[in-house]
Structure 1
Amino acid sequence: MRINEVAKLTGVSARTLQYYDEIGLLIPQKLDNGYRDYTDENLEKLQKILFYRCLKFKLNDIKEMLEGDIDNLKILEQQRDLILKEKEKFEVILYNIEKTIKNYKGEQEMTIEEKFNGFKKEDLNKYEDQAIEKYGKGTVEESKKRQNGKEDIVAEKFNSVFRSMAKYKKDRVSIEEKEVQSKVENLYNYMNEYAFDCSIEVFSYIGKGYSQNPEFKNNIDKFGEGVAEYTSKAIDEYCKSRLNK
């Protein structure tokens, strides 16, 4: 494939491709007339380069990573993990931007407390303590590892569920409805991903704590009056349906 064809296909300018050739980052075959000819292997390498460029890696660093024996699968898995981390970070930023826009428009007031409401790392630790009290101590260390460096992401994941629950309650949506149960399942999955390996039985126990434990209840009700009770009942419904399968 000629350089202009590659430029059109990938959106990378011909001048940039020439520069990549000059610095030895992406070297195409050269035809007798001096034209550059890009092989499928060159295009695969260009894709990897573009992934790294999206992640703000410097060209020299990319060159070093791609030189020598290349484990293509390992590189792609590494890039996927890096991009997922960026995705999660920007999800949090996007939510805050949207909230701030509404605040500027006067559509919704954004308090300091609201910016940090819901579930922070210490809140998840409280869940652990409650579960450990009944089910043992084996979850603690693993939970700390899963949360390390992801506190903001974890908080936003949990907060997104409770914001939805507040809306469903306000709209009088039954806890048995698919959309509500889907959010409960998200909550269950987040618990497993970011806190500890949570069985349905433990999840049921934690759900009861939402309405019975005053500290948890007060925290969740920051999203709206009665949200803790509503969520607790929705979790109970979810767990019963899972246990009866």
Structure 2
Amino acid sequence: MRINEVVKLTGVSARTLQYYDEIGLLIPEKLNNGYRDYLDENLEKLQKILFYKFLKFKLNDIKKLLEADVDNLKVLEQQRELILKEKEKFEIILHNIEKTIKTYKGEHKMTMEEKFNGFKKEDLNKYENQAIEKYGQETIEESKKRQSGKEDIVAEKFNSVFRSMAEYIKDGYSIEEKEVQSKIEDLYNYMNEYAFDCSVEVFSYIGKGYSQNPEFKSNIDKFGEGVAEYTSKAIEVYCNSRLNR
């Protein structure tokens, strides 16, 4: 299949396909006249690339995934779980928006409780709590037990991570850089040492909560503007790397 046919079939631009070829991500056959010829296996690989891109994987990570001997089905199933939990959260908000539109049109009258459905702390924490319920038993009690008598020390260890994140932002470090990922690993280890036995999957959900839970975000951003979002994204990179090993 010629490149213009692939563009028509997939919606991926010719320039993007050429770039994928240049970086070794998707290399088609080359005809004698220099034209690119995409075989069925190239198109199957392109579908995987598009899946991973949709799931916010970086091109470098996608290339490693495709080159490594990994269970692509397992990776996609894990990502599906994340998307389903995000979908549930956004459906609550979407339902709220639809009711609000009808209220403005005079077609519906919302109760005060309905107006704030999806914004309450318990709603915003919902998919994080689901992860805790699924992967961590008696997490609150266990956390209190592990921190007993060491509260100040524990707080300083966690705070040191967020202070470092603020410095990395100022210094222009990308979330993938070794120093950033090393500090995220410290955070993960502190979570396991002082909170509860935290799986990588649960750590991923907690990381999302840092940027999506207003209370978490507000507290973390006290260390510097954008620290919550930066840390959240850095945790996502760390967890994807661990899950794909």
TM-score using structure 1 length: 0.46
Bigger Rg over Cα:
1
The TM-score with structure 2 as length reference comes to 0.46
